[in-house]
A and B are shown apart, each in its own frame.
Chain A
Amino acid sequence: MGKAIVVTSGKGGVGKTTTTANIGAGLAALGQKVALVDADIGLRNLDLFMGLENRVVYHLVDVIEGRATWKKAIIRDKRLENLVLLPSAQVRDKDSVTPRQMKQLVDELKQEFDFVLLDCPAGIERGFKNAVAGADQAIVVVNPEVSSVRDADRVIGLLEAEEIKCIQLVVNRLKPSMVKRGEMLAIKDIVDLLAIDLLGIVPEDEGIVISSNRGEPIALNQTMKAGQAFCNISRRLMGDEIPFVDWQEDDSFFSRLKKLFGIS
C-alpha cells in the first residue's frame, strides 16, 4: 500500500505545482510507481508542467462522477513509464467533488501506486479540504517571505486539525545571495517560526521557468541546482539521509580566480 502526500501552501504562486511535478518525477526516476493528482479543480496546470496537456481526455471530475474509471483517465508520462497523471477538470466548479469522494479515489490509487501526490489549490476552502481528505502526509511549500510564512502557519494549523501527523517543509525560491546580505529570511528562521521538519531547500533558478516552458520537470536535469534540490527531496521521502545544501555561491578568492580563467 502506497502513501498519499498532499502538497499545499495556503498562498498561491509559491510553487506547489512545480514541487508536485518535480518530486513526482524524482520519485519515478528512482523507480517508484507514482500517481500525480491535480486537485486544483477549475484551474488545470499540472499537465502543463509535465508536458502532457495534449493528451488529456478524461479528468478528475469524470472519475468522481463515474464517467470514466481512473485507469482510463490517467495519462502515462512520456519519459518515465512508472509515472502517471490524473488531470484536473478545467471548467467544473470545485463543489462538484466532496472530501469523502476524494478520499475514496485516493485510497484506490494507493493500492496501485507507491506514492500518490496531490497538488492542492491555493486557499483554505473546499478545494483545500478535498485535496487533504485522502492524504496521509503533507508537504508545505513556503517562500522566504513574510506573507508566505504566515499563510503556511495557518495551513499547518488546519492540517493538524485534519489529524495529519507528518507535515514537512519545503522552502522554495531561496536566494542565497540575499540571505547572505541579511535581506532574506534564512532557512533556520523559517524552520524556527513554523516549527515543523525541513524536507528540502530549493534555490531560485531560472531553469524552473525554462523547464515549465518546455514541459519537462527540472528534477530530470541534474545539471540544474533546482533539479538536484528536487531529487534530494525525492530521496529523503524514500528514507535516504541526504544532507541539506544551502546553495550558497562559492565566492572564495580561489573560486573567483578559477572562474576568471574559466576552470570551473
Chain B
Amino acid sequence: MFDLRRLWGGKRGSKTQAKERLQLILIHDRSSLSPELLDLIKQRILDVLTEFVEIDEQGLAIDLEQTDDTSALITNIPIKAVRRNTRVL
C-alpha cells in the first residue's frame, strides 16, 4: 500500500523528529534572557569592576551567545586604567 511516511522522506515516524526539535527549542527558550535582565547584569558587573579598575563604559558589551547545545555570556570590557589604591593589593 502507498506509504505516507515515504512521502515525507524518512523511514522514522515523525514523532522522533517532533521530540528532537522540541528538545532543542525548549533548551533555547529556557535559556534566553530578556534585554532588561541583560542590562541589569551589565550594571552589576560594572559596579563590581569599577571598584578596582576604570572602565570605558561606552565600549562595554555583553551578549548571550547560543549554539544548539550551549549558552554563554560573552562580554568585552575595555579597561582605561587600574585604580591607584588597588595597585598595592
Contacts and interface: CB of A to CB of B under 8 A. Distances in A.
Interface in B42-88: none
Interface residues of B, number: 15
A185 B29 contact: no
A184 to B, nearest CB: 6
B22 A146 contact: yes
B15 interface: yes
Contacts of B29: 150, 153-154
Contact of B22 (A149, A157, A179, A186): A149
Contacts of B19: 185, 189, 193
Contacts of B21: 146
B9 interface: no
A179 B15 contact: yes
Contacts of B25: 146, 150
A243 interface: no
Interface string A56-85: 000000000000000000000000000000
B22 A150 contact: yes
A193 B26 contact: yes
A185 B15 CA distance: 5
A125 to B, nearest CB: 15
B7 to A, nearest CB: 12
A206 interface: no
A182 interface: yes
Residues of B contacting A: mostly: helix
Interface in A172-189: 179, 181-186, 189
Contact of B30 (A145, A157, A179, A183): A157
A153 B13 contact: no
Q: Pick from B15, B21, B25, B30 the residue with the most CB of A within 10 Å.
A: B15
Interface in B1-37: 5, 12-16, 18-19, 21-23, 25-26, 29-30
Contact of B13 (A145, A157, A183, A193): A183
B53 to A, nearest CB: 35
A193 B24 CA distance: 10
Contacts of B16: 182
Contacts of B13: 181-183
Interface of B: 5, 12-16, 18-19, 21-23, 25-26, 29-30
29 contacts: A145-B18, A146-B18, A146-B25, A150-B22, A150-B26, A153-B26, A153-B30, A154-B29, A157-B30, A179-B15, A181-B13, A182-B12, A182-B13, A182-B14, A182-B16, A183-B13, A183-B14, A183-B15, A184-B18, A185-B18, A185-B19, A185-B22, A186-B15, A189-B18, A189-B19, A193-B19, A193-B22, A193-B23, A193-B26
